Amino acid sequence: MLVVKGLEAGYGRAQVLYGIDLEIGRGEAVTLMGRNGMGKTTTIRALMGLTPPRGGSVHFRDDRIDGFPPHRIARRGIGLVPEGRQIFAKLSVEENLIATAAQAGRQNRWSLDQIFDQFPQLAERRRQSGGTLSGGEQQMLAIARALMTNPLLLILDEATEGLAPRIRDEIWQTLAKLKAEGIALLIVDRNIDALLKLADRHYLVTKGKVTWSGTSRDLAASRAVVETQIGV
């Protein structure tokens, strides 16, 4: 579904990515791991068109999309849950969801009713402004907002960072349901136990390059080495 080859990107004169290679199959869950500042978020920004790639290629569903603006990439079927959530604080929960809803007529489009069935807490707060939600509720809203774009691939940057254990469990359960429904996932997170249960494959990014990759079985066997590299 997603094939990335030799991806390079940076900011100004500073190069951050030095040839990232990764692949995600249809309905597959894949992780990006690494310490802060190693290039994970820049990889995501380059995939979404938020930071223009300087080299390499990105193909999604056999179409080349590197160089596309973010809105065209989203319309192709890639949804983003950004680091820091970035919800619209002054808009209500329902308004946040409507703001990113896919155009009418797209198949399997997520509706408000479907979202509220998936996230009952959001249904209870549908008239409440986004800025007054708890951190966990804001993360749920960020995921729900991305789902309203009707993605085939959902990208989550720092999926559970800073959340209470109970809320983290709810997020992982939600992601497992989405995967079971056929949505592919690209996840940045440090919770190796949760990632081992959910993900099919993993990539370790160090100084803008993929320095290790493997299946969950490979990760379990190399866990001590990987934990050293990501600072867990």
Least confident span in 16-20, 110-114, 151-155: 110-114
Rounded Cα gap, residues 197 and 188, in angstroms: 15
Residue 100 in this model has a pLDDT that exceeds 70: yes
Rounded Cα gap, residues 64 and 48, in angstroms: 12
Residue 104 in this model has a pLDDT that exceeds 80: no
Q: Which helix (H) or strand (E) holds 71?
A: helix 70-76
pLDDT band, very low/low/confident/very high, at 81 (cuts 50, 70, 90): very high
Structure tokens at 44: 């995501």
Residue 162 in this model has a pLDDT that exceeds 90: no
What is the architecture, at CATH level 2, of domain 1-77+185-232?
3-Layer(aba) Sandwich (3.40)
* Residue among 80, 50, 56 at smallest CA distance from 210: 56
Cβ-contact 87, 138 below 8 angstroms: yes
pLDDT of residue 105: 47
The tens digit of pLDDT for each residue in 122-134 reads 999 999 999 999 9
